[in-house]
A = this chain, B = another copy of it.
């Protein structure tokens, strides 16, 4: 049994992850989160919000997964979001060409024959809104952010840069997915679009402190971030900053930092919208290096595309740098006598025009009438433009939540022995662990059970997810909690009846200490909140 199989067995047995619709034979690329998996996932999302929404101060929005055709036509997905499909005529089976490449041939994994028939397949799920409006399930959350740019820019009071986050489902109709939870057709993603003024993408240098395991010339090398920017390995500081932040997030999730690398996309790997892209990859024993986060420089690609397609101006403005702009000013003392009551309308239309390069007669169309303005009927004046309009550039960190959850499980999984028997645990950070504490009566005595149940209830009312258990030996109960990564266990024993103390037992050290019963909820809450705050206090 390899590691993946072990993790997936554990995941199914203990309620983290289930293959979906198994009673109907399952559905490739679809997985469900069981009770513990759902808690874990919620914790990962909230940690992500802690990084991006609370700490970075980005705003978060929530837009539909159903997306009209026009949006994804404009964004390029209708034409470009495709994979090469290899179809074996003999077996009548389709494969993603990439998956069946052997050297420069495509080989059918089923019959071993060479596959020659290939075609591009669009990866979006399509459907119909109402009776006839073509739509897709979104392939990324990003387009919902871009199409609302004008509203969001107003929300942040037109300050740049600003970031907009979104967590939600994304869909990708993979050609016969065969990599379990690593390749899903419906997945959870967490994305940020950070909008920058391209003329001002600098970063406070104190934000670039840290090292990253960069892949340089095919080898992983710890490199100082500033050096990476100075050497031009990473394009610019804003991109570098977001790679660092995403890396820190991965480590904070409990993913082994020795099994993370940061790799730049080759030109032929780049998505159609990306100018430069870095992947944060994590190492799995079965699948090797797997992308978990992509940090892309999307430049002005999307906002430009939507401005063009929709006709709505998705621009921001900056204070101008004194650029000179020419404009027309009507001379009313000349025009008035000629045009009488029409003069007002003529002035209005005239001043809207771009000034000609040189002064000359101008012909205007005013309310259907042709009007000729004499050369002396207007002036061309020069004005300093105080505001410049521009299309913002975008840096996008995009996280695959399901893959991250898989890696949290694989990397926190520890096999050990206890009294000659196999003993497994998950070393999850306390803020990620689905269950924060086990609450046990030492033995099945009514008085102890009653107190333990009261503690369970108090903790739940304080928002802590805990698990009450009074079955089996205390060692067996610790083992059940260790196996699912519960960081603390609270035990009520006969001493509790005397002095109102309980024991806290720590998962990783198995050490125990006694604390006052009434302090239990705040003690556990503080432990969790301190470890969270420590992420940013290094």
Contact = CB atoms under 8 A, between A and B. Distances in A.
Interface of A: 12, 15, 18, 20-24, 27-35, 37-39, 41, 50, 53-55, 57, 59-68, 70-71, 94, 125-131, 133, 135, 137, 144, 147-148, 150-152, 155, 169, 171, 173, 175-176, 185-186, 306, 309-310, 312, 314, 460-463, 465, 529, 532-533, 536
Interface centre among A21, A38, A57, A529 (most CB of B within 10 A): A21
Nearest to A459: B54
Contact of A67 (B12, B21, B33): B21
A33 B61 contact: yes
Nearest to A20: B64
Contact of A66 (B38, B50, B144, B171): B171
B137 A127 contact: yes
Interface centre among A57, A64, A312, A533 (most CB of B within 10 A): A64
Contact of A33 (B29, B35, B62): B62
A175 B50 CA distance: 40
A526 to B, nearest CB: 11
A60 B39 contact: yes
A461 B533 contact: yes
Contacts of A148: 18, 22, 32, 34
B65 A186 contact: yes
6 A-B pairs closest in CB distance: A35-B59, A33-B62, A23-B310, A23-B312, A32-B63, A54-B460
16 contacts: A20-B64, A21-B71, A22-B148, A23-B312, A27-B129, A27-B133, A33-B63, A34-B155, A35-B59, A35-B61, A37-B61, A38-B61, A54-B465, A57-B460, A169-B169, A462-B529
A117 to B, nearest CB: 14
Given A24-B147, A66-B125, A529-B462, A130 B175 contact: yes
Contacts of A63: 20, 32-33
Contacts of A306: 23
Contacts of A22: 147-148
A51 to B, nearest CB: 11
Main secondary structure, interface of A, reads: mixed
Given A53-B465, A66-B185, A125-B128, 16 more contacts: A18-B151, A21-B71, A21-B147, A22-B147, A24-B309, A27-B64, A27-B129, A27-B135, A32-B63, A34-B155, A50-B463, A55-B460, A65-B169, A130-B175, A137-B137, A461-B536
Nearest to A143: B21
Contacts of A150: 23
A151 B15 contact: yes
A29 B57 CA distance: 31
B34 A71 contact: no
B60 A147 contact: no
Nearest to A176: B130
A127 B129 contact: no
A229 to B, nearest CB: 26
A157 to B, nearest CB: 8
Interface centre among A62, A67, A463 (most CB of B within 10 A): A62
A454 to B, nearest CB: 14
A64 B186 contact: yes
Contact of A129 (B54, B128, B185, B529): B185
Contacts of A61: 32-35, 37-38
Contacts of A131: 94
A186 B130 contact: no
A149 to B, nearest CB: 9
A71 B55 CA distance: 43
Contacts of A67: 21
A30 B66 contact: yes
Contacts of A39: 60
A57 B35 CA distance: 11
Contacts of A31: 64
